[in-house]
Amino acid sequence: MALKYISTRGTAPALNFEDVMLTGLATDGGLYVPEACPKISEQGFKAMQGKSYVDVAHRVIFPFVEGSIDDGTLHGLLKDTYAQFHDEEIAPIVSLDENLSVMELFHGPTLAFKDFALQFLGRMFDYSLSKRGQKITVVGATSGDTGSAAIEACRDRDCVEIFILHPKGRVSDVQRRQMTTVTSPNVHNIAIEGSFDDCQDMVKSMFNDQKFRQEINMSAINSINWARICAQVAYYVYAWVQMMDKVDRISFVVPTGNFGNIYAGYVAQSMGVPMDKLIVATNKNDILHRFFQTGKMEATTVEPTLSPSMDIQISSNFERLLFDLYGRDGAAVVKTMDHFRQNGPFEMDDETMTRLHVLFDSARLNDEETSKVIKTVHEKMGYLSDPHTAVGLGAALQYREKHPETAHLVTLATADPSKFPDAVEKASGVFPELPSFLSDLHQREEKYDVLPNDLNKVMAYIRQNMKQSSAA
C-alpha cells in the first residue's frame, strides 16, 4: 500500500512519495509528512541484526517509498549511494566509554553527514526524472558545507543541472575546492562578489520569479525534502540494531541546525526504536536550546561560530514536530507560523512542553566550551572531533553529569575533523590531515566563474550555461 503524504499546513493536496520528493515545499507553504508512520516490531529489529548498512536502510526506507519505486530498484540505488563511502561499515560506531559512543557519519565523499541524504536524493531524482523524461535545474546558495554535498550528489547526473552560488573569498579553501574542483559539465560554480545573504537573496528572488522558475524547471534540494529525512532515519535504526543486545534503550545527542537530523531521530523513535532521550545540541545560536528550556521560540541575530553549519536562526524542519505537537492540526500550525513571521516570538503551553520533555532535552556550548571539549575528549578519550561533533559531545557530557542513570548515549559525529583543520589544531594541537582520497585537493584544477552581485547577470549566466550544456 502506497503511503500518502500530507502538508503540515493542512490544505495542499496529499501526494505520493515521488511527487513529494520532486515538489519539495507544499503549495500551502507547509512541509510534507507521512499520513501514518510505518512501524518496526522488535522482531523486525532482530531480523536486521548482522545485516549490512544498505540492507538496514532498505528495510527502513522501503515503506516510505512503496508505490513510487520498487523494492529491487531502491536496493540498487542504495547500494550505489553507499558505495561512495570510504568506510566499509558506512556509519561505524566508536565506543568512548561504557555508556558513551559516537556514530561517525562523515565517511561520505564530502566528509559530512549530509552525504547520507544528498547522495541518495541525487540518485532518486535522476531515477524519477529519467523515467518521466524531465530535467531539472538545481540552484542553491552555500556558506560552505551544503554546496559541496549537493554538487557531489548531482555531478554527472543526466537529468540534473546544478548551479551553486558562494560568496567570493568568504568560504574556506577546503570548502571552495570541494566545490570548484568538480569539473563535470553539469556542475556550475559561481563566486558572487557579495555576502552569503546576497547569494541567498538571489536564489529566493529566482524562486519567486515564476517565469524564470518554469523556464529552467528550477528545483531545490534543501533539507526540508522528505527523501532526505527518510534516508537519515536509517542510521538511527542501524545504531539501535547494533546496540539492542546490550542495552534496553538508547539516547542520541545531535548537533543541530535546521532540525533535519534530529527530526529523523524522532521519526525513528515513532517507528519503534526504544529511545530514552533525543538531545538537541546547539552552539551560541541557541534558539532551539532556549525553546526547549523555556517554551518560548524567539529569533535573534545569527552569529558566526566554530561550527558554521549550525549557525542558523530559524530551523525549518521544526514545523514537522510542531504539527505533531498540535495533534496534526494544520490550521493551528498556520496560526503559529504566521504569528512567528509577522509578530515574532511564540510560546508553548506547559502541558505541551511536558509532553515534549518526555523525549527531548537540549544543551548549548559556546566556542570556548567547544574548543575545550575538542581538547579534553582528545586527551582523555583519545578521540579527535570536529567542532560540530564537539558541541554534541559537550552536550552529552553535560547531560550525563546531570542524569547519571541515563541510557547509553550515542553522539552523532557530523563532520570529519579535517574539514575544520584550523579550529581543531588550535584546540588540540593536532592538525587533522585530509583523508587520502582528498589529499591532492589543493593541487586539483578549479573551475568557477566570478559574477557581480547582480540578479539579472546571474540569471543571464544560468540561461546561457544551460543552453550550452544541453547542446553538448
Ligand X SMILES: *Cc1c(COP(=O)(O)O)cnc(C)c1O
Residues that bind ligand X (CB under 6 A): 112, 114, 145, 223, 255-261, 309-310, 388, 414-415
Place of cell 561512495: 84
For residue 424, give every residue at least 6 positions away whose Cβ sits within 8 Å of its Cβ, in sequence order, or none: 374, 384, 385, 386, 387, 417, 418, 430, 431, 432
Closest of 96, 89, 24 to residue 53, by C-alpha:
89
Closest of 231, 277, 278, 244 to residue 93, by C-alpha:
244
Q: Do 30 and 330 meet the contact criterion of CB atoms below 8 Å apart?
A: yes
For residue 245, give every residue at least 6 positions away whose Cβ sits within 8 Å of its Cβ, in sequence order, or none: 49
C-beta of 308 vs 330, nearer to ligand X: 308
Catalytic residue among 51, 114, 168, 419: 114
What's the CA gap between 313 and 287, in Å, rounded?
Answer: 7
User: 107-130 in b/e burial notation, b at 16+ Cβ within 10 A?
Assistant: bbbbbbbbbbbbbbbbbbbbbbbe
For residue 128, give every residue at least 6 positions away whose Cβ sits within 8 Å of its Cβ, in sequence order, or none: 18, 21, 22, 68, 69
C-beta of 414 vs 418, nearer to ligand X: 414
Q: Cβ of residue 167: shortest distance to ligand X, in angstroms?
A: 17
Closest of 57, 115, 105, 94 to residue 409, by C-alpha:
94
Determine which helix (DSSP H) or strand (DSSP E) holds 192, and give its type and residue range.
Answer: strand 187-193
CA 419 distance to own-chain centroid = 16
Q: Cβ of residue 288: shortest distance to ligand X, in angstroms?
A: 9
Q: Cβ of residue 321: shortest distance to ligand X, in angstroms?
A: 12
CA 465 distance to own-chain centroid = 29
Determine which helix (DSSP H) or strand (DSSP E) holds 96, and give its type and residue range.
Answer: strand 93-97
Residues pairing with 363 in the sheet = 281
| Residue type (1 letter), 334 | V
CA 315 distance to own-chain centroid = 11
C-beta of 336 vs 385, nearer to ligand X: 385
C-beta of 162 vs 288, nearer to ligand X: 288
Q: Do 60 and 235 meet the contact criterion of CB atoms below 8 Å apart?
A: no
Q: Is 114 among the catalytic positions?
A: yes
C-beta of 273 vs 466, nearer to ligand X: 273
Q: Cβ of residue 437: shortest distance to ligand X, in angstroms?
A: 19
Q: Cβ of residue 1: shortest distance to ligand X, in angstroms?
A: 29
Q: Cβ of residue 187: shortest distance to ligand X, in angstroms?
A: 20
User: 400-417 in b/e burial notation, b at 16+ Cβ within 10 A?
Assistant: beeeeebbbbbbbbbbbb
C-beta of 282 vs 465, nearer to ligand X: 282
Task: Give SS3 for 104.
Answer: strand
What is 261-305 written as a DSSP string?
HHHHHHHHHHHT--EEEEEEEE-S--HHHHHHHHSEE--------
Q: Cβ of residue 228: shortest distance to ligand X, in angstroms?
A: 9
C-beta of 189 vs 414, nearer to ligand X: 414
C-beta of 69 vs 254, nearer to ligand X: 254
Q: Cβ of residue 141: shortest distance to ligand X, in angstroms?
A: 14
C-beta of 434 vs 455, nearer to ligand X: 434
Grid cell listed for 454: 547582480
Q: Cβ of residue 105: shortest distance to ligand X, in angstroms?
A: 9
Active site residues: 114
